[in-house]
A and B are shown apart, each in its own frame.
Chain A
């Protein structure tokens, strides 16, 4: 039997007395886009941070292509092909934008392909081109707007050539027009192909998002969290009509 692409088993994490993630289990197929939704404080970001090794889980396991990720260092996980973006963008503010992306291009995973794509600056530029901010490559990152910072986050993650991309609120703080652009970029990335010197097989994605309307358009399946536990799982239609989900979002009787 082939190993599942991503398998999360009984994952738990608590901060002091607060159980942020409780006994979560789900599976994911290759090339799938999985939406991860839930009210504020449901543990979505914590779950993503557990997957990338930024936080260490109290118990449970995360298997990526059958490989145990729990206990690995963040950079090793990224070099296996799991990239993430941050909800509150974390650019290197005093560095030019191109240098922000060059850091990712210098990771062993990004450097592993043949000699002809080893020109770090060129690959960084192509990642910026993909994200649509290549015209500002030489500006300082501190001069970027919210929307462009989100794009920078995506460019940085894409530059590591991920197989699984974890996006934490890619639409957060964006205007409707910017949201549309970002959704387009995500769909384009998911299709895969060549972006200049960057080559992408079309990574699977887990997207944490509050803008449900936009999210529903791009995801295949949705996982709903509430108070750290898994509340529901299914296609967008199933989830929207699930009474438990409606209750979690709107309170009891909110659906009527």
Chain B
């Protein structure tokens, strides 16, 4: 009992001193709490469906950011990893009767392999050329899907997949927890030493080479990691929709990912995740006005990009927080002195 009390006290101290001091951390904590407590408020199947799909795409957007936002390897064909993940898990589930906990990781493994296959020829390409080349890969795979209708189901796709869980709430929690865990892992990766090297590769690849870093290895690592997370989201999507169809490979899917990430703020991980949670439900909830749905979407995105070129989330973060000029620790914008070094905040 005493030990439990101590842990509680410690937990309380950490929350008070580390989380409650910064609005951005409070928002993230609220985000976790609201998502995990959602079923207590409403069990509307439509709402739950929208949130689950949003979570799946949040993983996808964050995985794009891990590759393109951080290492600067502009991937305009991210649907490839998503589609490979979806189709592989679907095939394994339908033909080998693998349960989802086997088929989704194997789908992710297939996406990692795809990342390697795509990554190696793309190593020599930069900027526009890389973007165009990567764009071609999902289109090629789509051609293969249509060419082999016996295996892939052609236009209809592979349907009748097993659900991960048959209860509505159980399913919801599985997806939400996976999303939160994976996004935290991605954020941790980018916050590590590897993340610094990814950043540096985007800034100046030659200088990274001259610092003695094997850039080829790190770029391939980025492709594989990104493929892994996107593959998981593809597998989850297939099991949720109970179908893996050619729509997972569409060009529009690749571009949605790019739009989400750019809208939310590249090279942040939390930016794209937040962007998906804003844009995807927005697109769903303006269904009552179907003719103008896509146009509203486009106007919102354009306005954000026009006035916040760094992306929405970094812009908001700069408004509610400011860095201490001396120690660079972030503080609430309303503070007069830094919370750590007590230097004046202009």
Contact = CB atoms under 8 A, between A and B. Distances in A.
A75 B212 contact: yes
A75 B207 contact: no
Interface stretch (B134-142, B174-182, B193-201): B193-201
A219 interface: no
Contact of B212 (A54, A92, A109, A138): A109
A75 B215 contact: yes
A99 B200 CA distance: 9
A99 B214 contact: no
A54 B199 contact: no
Contacts of A156: 207, 211
Given A103-B197, A138-B328, A86 B207 contact: yes
Given A90-B204, A90-B207, A92-B207, A75 B214 contact: yes
A100 B208 CA distance: 9
Contacts of B204: 90-92
Contacts of B214: 73, 75
A85 to B, nearest CB: 8
Contacts of B199: 92, 94-95, 99
Which one of B199, B207, B214, B328 has the greatest number of beta carbons of chain A within 10 Å? Answer: B207
Nearest to A111: B212
Nearest to A94: B203
A52 B210 contact: yes
A102 interface: yes
Contacts of B209: 54, 73-75, 78
Contacts of B20: none
A229 interface: no
Interface in B172-231: 193, 196-197, 199-200, 203-204, 206-216
Given A106-B193, A106-B196, A120-B193, A93 B203 contact: yes
Q: Which of B209, B327, B328 is packed against the most chain A CB atoms within 10 Å?
A: B209
B217 to A, nearest CB: 9
A4 interface: no
Contact of A103 (B200, B206, B328): B200
A215 interface: no
Which one of A75, A103, A104 has the greatest number of beta carbons of chain B within 10 Å?
A103
Nearest to A95: B199
Interface residues of A, number: 33
A54 B210 CA distance: 8
A79 interface: yes
Nearest to A104: B211
Given A86-B207, A90-B207, A95 B212 contact: no
A52 B214 CA distance: 14
Interface string B90-104: 000000000000000
Most chain B beta-carbon contacts within 10 A, residue among A52, A75, A120: A75
A102 B196 contact: yes
Contacts of A86: 207, 210
Contacts of B216: 73
Interface string A106-133: 1111100000000010000000000000
A130 to B, nearest CB: 16
B257 to A, nearest CB: 22
Contacts of B193: 102, 106, 120
B341 to A, nearest CB: 12
A120 B327 CA distance: 19
A47 interface: no
A103 B208 contact: yes
Contacts of A73: 209, 214, 216
Contacts of A186: none
Given A90-B206, A94-B199, A103 B211 contact: yes
A92 B214 CA distance: 17
A84 interface: yes
Given A92-B203, A99-B196, A138 B213 contact: no
A109 B211 CA distance: 10
Contacts of A100: 200
Contacts of A120: 193
A78 B200 contact: no
List the 10 closest A-B pairs by CB distance, nearest first: A107-B212, A78-B212, A92-B203, A104-B211, A74-B209, A90-B207, A138-B328, A92-B200, A103-B200, A103-B211
Interface of A: 52, 54, 73-75, 78-79, 83-84, 86, 90-96, 99-100, 102-104, 106-110, 120, 138, 156-157, 159-160
Given A90-B206, A95-B203, 15 more contacts: A73-B209, A75-B209, A78-B211, A83-B210, A84-B210, A90-B207, A95-B200, A99-B200, A103-B200, A106-B193, A107-B212, A107-B213, A120-B193, A157-B210, A159-B211
23 contacts: A54-B206, A73-B214, A74-B209, A75-B209, A75-B213, A75-B215, A78-B210, A78-B212, A83-B212, A90-B204, A90-B206, A90-B207, A91-B207, A92-B200, A102-B193, A103-B200, A106-B196, A107-B211, A107-B213, A109-B212, A110-B212, A138-B327, A156-B211
